[in-house]
Amino acid sequence: MLVVKKLLQYTPCDVSDALVKYGVSNGGYIPNLVKQSGPDSTVVGQAYTVLYAAKSDPRPAIKESYIDIIPQGAVLVMALAPELQLPHAPYVRVNNALYGGLMSTRASYRGAAGSVILGRIRDLDEHRELKYPVWSYGVGSTAPGPVVKVVGINVPVEIRVQLMEIDKDFETIKVNAGDYIVADKNGAVVLNQGHPKFHDILEYIPKRVAADTLVSEDIKKGKPAAESQKQRRANL
């Protein structure tokens, strides 16, 4: 919880700056999510993952109701099996919504921190009335039941996204149960719990934020950005 409390003071952009410093060139960013509801402040929590697959998938449907066991403080990270994902919009092959208002009502009751849905959601008004934070790729109106089933809870999930290499179709971002999710209107960042420099990353964040606050002040006084960035970030 100390980690969560620390991260709540920063933004996903701040976390990405620290991840870049420690070798993560994409800054842990999970692209293409839209903030659909919830307050303006940063949301932080450890990932509680739910994996959906096609009803025809050989794996059995999980009997438990994932939402009834979501831990307090967790961020729900819900993804489709990789073959149902697309690196281009609408980012999923499934036009049914994966998640809706009753799920946020229950998540909110159980004290979850937020829901990051790598798919469509429905019932926009309900999430907003609850002031419960939800991110999604898009919206929908139809429940998931007719086309997909839950096949995993707290399993690692893989997210297919565009990559710079022209001869490959996609890159995969992995989210493990327990990884830290930091999200706001800029989107969501995953901070791998097992990153070998985890504590260095946490310690770097406030130093970098302090330096960049000074850069911002310098620029507002007329100093060139490049000069100020060089000076203020010199010891980082």
Number of residues counted as binding its own copies (CB under 8 A): 72
Instruction: Please report the DSSP string for 96-140 in residue order.
Output: SEEE-HHHHHHHHHTT--EEEEEEEE--HHHHHHHT--EEEEEE-
List the one residue from 9, 61, 155, 216 that touches its own copies (CB under 8 A): 216
Query: CB of 33 within 8 A of CB of 137?
Result: yes
Q: Is 175 in the site for its own copies (CB under 8 A)?
A: no
User: What is the Cα gyration radius of the chain?
Assistant: 19
Q: Is 231 in the site for its own copies (CB under 8 A)?
A: no
Q: Nearest approach, Cβ of 31 to its own copies (angstroms)? A: 5
Q: Nearest to residue 151, comparing CAs of 92, 204, 211, 78?
A: 78
Among 79, 114, 195, 212, binds its own copies (CB under 8 A): 212
Three-state SS at 190: strand
Cα–Cα distances in angstroms (integers) from residue 171 to residues 125, 159, 187, 193, 208, in the given order: 34, 8, 18, 20, 28
Judge whether 68 is annotated as a binding position.
no
Nearer to its own copies, 4 or 86 (CB): 86
- Window 143-172: residues binding its own copies (CB under 8 A): 143, 145-147, 161-164, 166
In the window 5-44, what residues touch its own copies (CB under 8 A)? 11-13, 15-17, 19-20, 25-29, 31-32
The distance of closest approach from Cβ of residue 136 to its own copies in the complex, given in angstroms and rounded to an integer, is 11
Smaller CB separation from its own copies, 1 or 71? 71
Q: Is the dihedral of CA 12, 17, 22, 23 positive or negative?
A: positive
Which residues line the annotated binding site for substrate? 100-103, 122-123
